Amino acid sequence: MTTSTDRMRVLTGDTPTGNLHLGHWVGSVRRRVEMQDTHECYFLLANMHAFTTRADEPEEIRADCIECVRDALAMGIDPSRCSIFLQTEVPAISELTYLFSMLLPYNRVMRNPTLKDELKIKGMEDNHSFGFPLYTVGQTADILAFRAHAVPVGEDQVPHIELTREVARRFNKMYCGVPAKAPDEEHESLGGVFPLPVADVGRVGRLSGIDGVQKMSKSLGNAIYIRDTAKQVKKKIGRIYTGHDSRQPDEPGEIDPEKNPLFQYVETFIDDEDLVSDFRDRYSRGANIGDGEVKVAVSDAINHLLGPMQERREQFSSDDDVIDILREGTGRANSIAEETLALAKEAASLKFFNRTISLQGL
Ligand code: TRP
């Protein structure tokens, strides 16, 4: 395990929703796999956040956690080069959530646009649980418990990172004597416990689903899963709506990936640049190339990507093995989160005596 401290520390997480699909690969996992070599990486499974809407399905949430980790391992997340862990087994996160909730005005929490959107989309504006909005404060603790400097996330998470920066700013000012006007980057060097993390939105990949309209998503039933067989992939790709079903092979076709999702797939999954430009050229000229020919090449490319992932997935077929990986990652996560908690409690005059808790089995 390389935890060389000169590497930048990043933390990111996901609410477990079950099996991962190509949208996850394009949107986040591919990048995380690369970051394992360049950053000190912590990947959190936000299983308590899953309870915000599914408290009545605890067994499903548990199963989703395991599947999600299994698929991430299949895609190349390597437990010897990162720490992958369970939010609910890092008690410092809960303790910090409670403390941080005191630093934020209630109305500030409720103003978060991502939170508002979620409540609206789920029709829960008037009947959400007390804990639902608290998850946003919890997310600040997820990040600050690791004193992470960067948080690789999608655009929708940026308001949560902004809230995190606000918590860090207030804490450092209130309890660590960091001047109110201190520049964000100087909080740590001025004695603040927490660095102000930045959202690393990066190049965002939004992969269309096979309906060709919506973003690929489990709930919309338009996803290609990492565990889909070659045959299933072929069938799903065959169903992709390209916007002009009546086009004849000798009629010019649309190659803008924004307008024709098939070409987004061509560009995303076919590595052979010559083949990609040949397709683009012939398709847009109507040089006797039907959707079928392109779809076969796309299916082959996806199966070529998924093959090794599925082989790796076999190695993690036992739940116990996945749980062992989580146990190790969670152990490393606890070392650092407990250290942060001790610093925070000391700063906030909450340290009355030394407390070490032993996390049995970790
Ligand atoms: N809210 C994030 C999502 O649903 C998941 C998450 C929880 C997270 N804690 C985090 C992301 C900390 C980044 C950092 O996608």
pLDDT in tens, 244-270: 666 788 888 899 988 899 999 999 999
Q: What SS3 class is residue 321?
A: helix
**Residue 236: in which H helix or E strand, if any?**
helix 230-238
- The pLDDT of residue 153 is 92
Paired residues of 68 in beta bridges: none
151 lines ligand 1 (CB under 6 A): yes
User: CATH: 3.40.50.150, 3.40.50.620, 3.30.50.10, 3.90.180.10. Which one for 9-207+318-347?
Assistant: 3.40.50.620
pLDDT (mean) for 102-126: 96
- The pLDDT of residue 190 is 98
Of 39-53, 69-83, 258-272, minimum mean pLDDT range: 258-272
15 Cα: distance to centroid of ligand 1 (angstroms): 6
**Closest residue to atom 8 of ligand 1, CA basis:** 13
- The pLDDT of residue 250 is 85
128 Cα: distance to centroid of ligand 1 (angstroms): 19
156 Cα: distance to centroid of ligand 1 (angstroms): 10
Express each pLDDT in 162-199 by its tens digit: 999 999 999 999 999 999 999 999 999 999 999 999 99
26 lines ligand 1 (CB under 6 A): no
φ/ψ bin of 163: left (φ > 0), alpha (ψ from -120 to 50), beta (otherwise): alpha
- The pLDDT of residue 14 is 95
- The pLDDT of residue 360 is 62
Ligand 1 atom nearest residue 139's Cα: 9
- The pLDDT of residue 43 is 98
- The pLDDT of residue 2 is 44
- The pLDDT of residue 337 is 97
Q: What SS3 class is residue 258?
A: coil
Chain region(s) in the chain for CATH 3.40.50.620: 9-207+318-347
- The pLDDT of residue 5 is 62
pLDDT (mean) for 21-41: 95
Q: Provide, rounded to the nearest whole percent, the portion of the chain with pLDDT above 90.
A: 85
154 Cα: distance to centroid of ligand 1 (angstroms): 10
57 Cα: distance to centroid of ligand 1 (angstroms): 20
With 80 as the cut, is the pLDDT of residue 27 above it?
yes
pLDDT (mean) for 41-54: 97
Backbone angles phi, psi at 286, to 5 degrees: 75, 40
87 lines ligand 1 (CB under 6 A): no
- The pLDDT of residue 64 is 98
pLDDT, averaged across the chain: 94
13 lines ligand 1 (CB under 6 A): yes
Architecture of domain 230-313: Orthogonal Bundle (1.10)
Chain region(s) in the chain for CATH 1.10.240.10: 230-313
140 Cα: distance to centroid of ligand 1 (angstroms): 9
Spatial separation of the C-alpha atoms in residues 133 and 252, rounded to whole Å: 51
With 90 as the cut, is the pLDDT of residue 105 above it?
yes
Q: Provide, rounded to the nearest whole percent, the portion of the chain with pLDDT above 70.
A: 96
State the pTM of this model: 0.93
* Cβ partners under 8 Å of residue 335, min gap 6: none
**Closest residue to atom 4 of ligand 1, CA basis:** 15
DSSP 326-353: HHHHHHHHHHHHHHHHHHHHHHTT--SS
The amino acid that residue 188 corresponds to is E
Structure-token match 């909080």, residue found: 187
pLDDT (mean) for 117-140: 95
Spatial separation of the C-alpha atoms in residues 165 and 298, rounded to whole Å: 42
17 lines ligand 1 (CB under 6 A): no
With 90 as the cut, is the pLDDT of residue 317 above it?
yes
65 Cα: distance to centroid of ligand 1 (angstroms): 14
**Closest residue to atom 14 of ligand 1, CA basis:** 12
**Closest residue to atom 3 of ligand 1, CA basis:** 14
**Closest residue to atom 15 of ligand 1, CA basis:** 14
139 lines ligand 1 (CB under 6 A): yes
